Amino acid sequence: MTSQYILRRLLIMIPVLFGISLIIFAMVRVIPGDPAMIMAGPHATEEYVRQIRAQLGLDKHPVTQYLIFLGNLVQGDLGTSTRTALPVTKEIFSRLPNTLLLAMASILIATVLGVTIGIVSGIKQNSLFDYLSMVAALFGLSMPVFWLGLMLMLLFSIKLGWLPAVGAETPSHLILPALTLGANSMAIIARMTRSSMLEVVRLDYIRTARSKGLPERLVLSRHALRNALIPVVTVIGLQTGILLGGAVLTEIVFAWPGIGRLLVEAILARDYPVVQGVVLVVATMFIVVNLIVDLLYAYLDPRIRYH
């Protein structure tokens, strides 16, 4: 099952990434601004700007530029940053671990709290805990990330002084950004887990298990929870991919040195190679996460088979 399926999915990644590279290549070139003029400075002569444009290859036809970019990409070369003159791969992979750490901490918090809250709410439907948790989940879905980050910073850093506000020097610097980034995902996971549990506990095989005299704890853990988690795994996988590429605002608010912040800096500087490289790396990670989620389906439900 898995080897052929994984191989097919990996082969599908090639045209997908090709399409993404083409789209991002076109999009970054319609952004107003000229990287050569930004590098040369406001007082540079037209001749100097032309020299820089030639050095960067921006004087060539866009099709030629894309073919050069594609040829380098096949060799694992994402180009050179026009802002720092460093290899794009070095720029990205120096910051990627920070983004992965933040995203993994956020999805861990979101999964543990979201699944726990969703299960309890599903079991105790229409209870006070159910009402309060769903109101909190609605609040988590509604509030902007940057606002939540600033409020948490104001409370825990400025008012109480318990946690550092910005930076990434110590493990304590990770707490506020992870809570901020994971709040929305936690709300989504909690609501999905609750809905899935409510649907599963009403099925015939759950009533049959209860009629056999099995303890409620075993009915829920062995029969209900495993099937209820199948759609939840989908949501967790999607949220993981979203957090990997969507940490931009959180990284800006907390001055977290990740690839989201790098992407914003590159866009402002019209640093085409870095923008293209970051988007391709994030897209690849998103596709890999989706593949892992698909494989988890077969583990959670043996009836699912891939051919």
Mean pLDDT lowest for which of 199-203, 229-233, 272-276, 278-282?
199-203
Q: Find out whether 166 and 205 touch, Cβ atoms under 8 Å.
A: no
pLDDT at position 306:
54
Name the range with the highest mean pLDDT among 20-24, 57-61, 209-213.
20-24
Rounded CA gap, 153 and 166, in Å? 9
pLDDT tens track for 112-130: 998 888 888 888 878 888 8
pLDDT at position 33:
67
Q: What percent of the chain stands above pLDDT 90?
A: 1
Rounded CA gap, 34 and 48, in Å? 13
| 249: pLDDT strictly greater than 70 | yes
| 304: pLDDT strictly greater than 60 | no
Rounded CA gap, 125 and 202, in Å? 12
| 231: pLDDT strictly greater than 70 | yes
Q: Find out whether 114 and 240 touch, Cβ atoms under 8 Å.
A: no
Q: What percent of the chain stands above pLDDT 70?
A: 83
Rounded to an integer, the average pLDDT of 10-35 is 79
Rounded to an integer, the average pLDDT of 172-192 is 88
Pinpoint the residues of the chain covered by CATH 1.10.3720.10: 96-300
Rounded CA gap, 112 and 90, in Å? 34
Taking CA atoms, 141 is separated from 135, 137, 138, 191, in Å, by: 10, 6, 5, 10
pLDDT tens track for 26-70: 877 777 666 677 666 667 777 777 777 777 677 777 788 888 888
CATH topology of domain 96-300: MetI-like fold (1.10.3720)
Q: What is the 3-state secondary structure (H, E, C) of 211-273?
A: HCCCCHHHHHHHHHHHHHHHHHHHHHHHHHHHHHHCCHHHHHHCCCCCHHHHHHHHHHCCCHH
pLDDT tens track for 91-112: 888 888 888 888 889 989 998 9
pLDDT tens track for 261-292: 888 888 887 788 888 888 888 888 888 887 77
Q: How confident is the model at residue 257 (pLDDT cuts 50, 70, 90)?
A: confident
Which residue from 250, 236, 61 is spatially nearest to 148, judged by alpha carbons?
A: 250
| 4: pLDDT strictly greater than 70 | yes
pLDDT at position 205:
67
pLDDT tens track for 144-174: 888 888 898 888 888 888 888 887 788 888 8
Q: Find out whether 180 and 152 touch, Cβ atoms under 8 Å.
A: yes
Rounded CA gap, 272 and 251, in Å? 21
Q: How confident is the model at residue 222 (pLDDT cuts 50, 70, 90)?
A: low
- The residue type of 80 is T
Taking CA atoms, 35 is separated from 28, 148, 241, in Å, by: 11, 34, 30
Rounded CA gap, 14 and 286, in Å? 14
Q: What are phi and psi of 271, to 5 degrees?
A: -85, 85
Burial letters 82-91, b for 16+ CB under 10 A, else e:
bbeeebbbeb
Q: What is the average pLDDT value for the chain, to the nearest integer?
A: 80
Taking CA atoms, 225 is separated from 69, 116, 118, 196, 279, in Å, by: 48, 11, 11, 9, 36
Q: How confident is the model at residue 237 (pLDDT cuts 50, 70, 90)?
A: confident
pLDDT at position 18:
84
